[in-house]
Amino acid sequence: MRKYLIILLIAFYFVGCKANADFSVGKTDNTVSCPKLKIINASDNFNIYSIELPNHNISPLEIRPKESVTFELINGMLYYDNVIVSVSYGVTRGTGNVHTAYYKVNFSDGETTVITLGE
């Protein structure tokens, strides 16, 4: 059973990310390039606690004011255009004062999509 789970996880990895092959002049590049998501917290007093998009739930998380983090989306993407990304933020987690901002963005394999909160 464990063997099948490992094979399934490997298959999801390769289905979600496209392999690049360049056969010109005998050059071969078989690297896997997944899209990346960079979250910038430009606010002065909010922490970012979670990020959600199709096929990805990045939580628990704490991105402090004036910090940024880049995530490689290795779970693959269900689609690349007009993806809704929700970013939950607040002063302190667990106080009921957590808000959610929604962003509609596009992704490309090997490229970094940037979302800035507080701009």
Q: Which CATH number fits domain 35-117: 2.60.120, 1.10.10, 2.60.40, 3.40.50?
A: 2.60.40
pLDDT band at 63 (very low <50, low <70, confident <90, very high): very high
Model confidence at 74, pLDDT cuts 50, 70, 90, reads confident
pLDDT, residue 5, reads 47
What pLDDT was estimated at residue 17? 52
Task: Give yes or no for residue 85 having a pLDDT over 80.
Answer: yes
Residue pair 41/113 in contact (Cβ under 8 Å)? The answer is no
State the average pLDDT over residues 27-53.
Answer: 83
Specify the pairing of strand 68-72 against strand 56-58: unpaired
48, exposed or middle or buried, with CB in 10 Å at 0-12, 13-18, 19+? buried
Is there a cis peptide before residue 54, judged by omega within 30 degrees of 0? no
